[in-house]
C-alpha cells in the first residue's frame, strides 16, 4: 500500500510556479541597471568575489577532477580523495 500521502511533507517545497517566478522577474527588472552598475564598480575596485563571479558566469567553472587513491590494508579499504584545486 502506498503511504506517501501520509508523509506530511512541506507545503513550501518544490519549484515555485511560473506565475510566481514571472512576478519576481517583473519586480526585479527595474533594478537590473543599478545592480549591474554596482557589480561593475566592484569589479573595477578589484573585489575578489565580483571578479570570481564574473568569470564563473562568463566562462563557466573549470573542469573538476577528483583523483582517488585506494589502498587495501586487508581490513577496511581507505580511500583518499585529492582535490587538485585545493591549496596545499
In sequence order, what DSSP letters do the residues of 67-80 get, joined into one string? EEEEE--SSS-EEE
Residue 72's pLDDT is 63
Q: Which grid cell sits at 87?
A: 591549496
Distance in angstroms between the alpha carbons of the first and the last residue of the chain: 53
Tell whether pTM > 0.85. Answer: no
Residue 64's pLDDT is 81
Q: Where do we find the cell 585545493?
A: 86
Euclidean distance between CA atoms 88 and 81, whole angstroms: 14
pLDDT tens for residues 21-80?
Answer: 999 999 999 999 999 999 999 999 999 999 999 999 999 987 888 888 777 666 665 677
39 inside domain: yes
Residue 2's pLDDT is 62
CA angle 26, 32, 38 (to 5 degrees): 150
5 inside domain: no
Residue 59's pLDDT is 93
Domain count, the chain: 1
36 inside domain: yes
Range of the domain at 34: 17-82
Residue 85's pLDDT is 73
Amino acid at each position: 500500500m502506498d503511504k506517501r500521502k501520509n508523509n506530511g511533507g512541506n507545503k513550501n517545497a518544490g519549484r515555485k510556479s511560473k506565475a510566481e517566478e514571472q512576478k519576481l522577474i517583473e519586480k526585479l527588472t527595474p533594478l537590473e541597471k543599478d545592480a549591474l552598475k554596482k557589480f561593475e564598480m566592484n569589479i573595477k575596485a578589484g573585489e575578489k568575489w565580483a571578479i570570481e563571479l564574473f568569470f564563473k558566469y562568463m566562462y563557466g567553472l573549470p573542469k573538476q577532477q577528483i583523483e582517488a587513491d585506494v589502498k587495501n590494508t586487508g581490513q577496511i579499504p581507505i580511500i583518499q580523495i585529492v582535490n587538485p584545486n585545493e591549496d596545499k
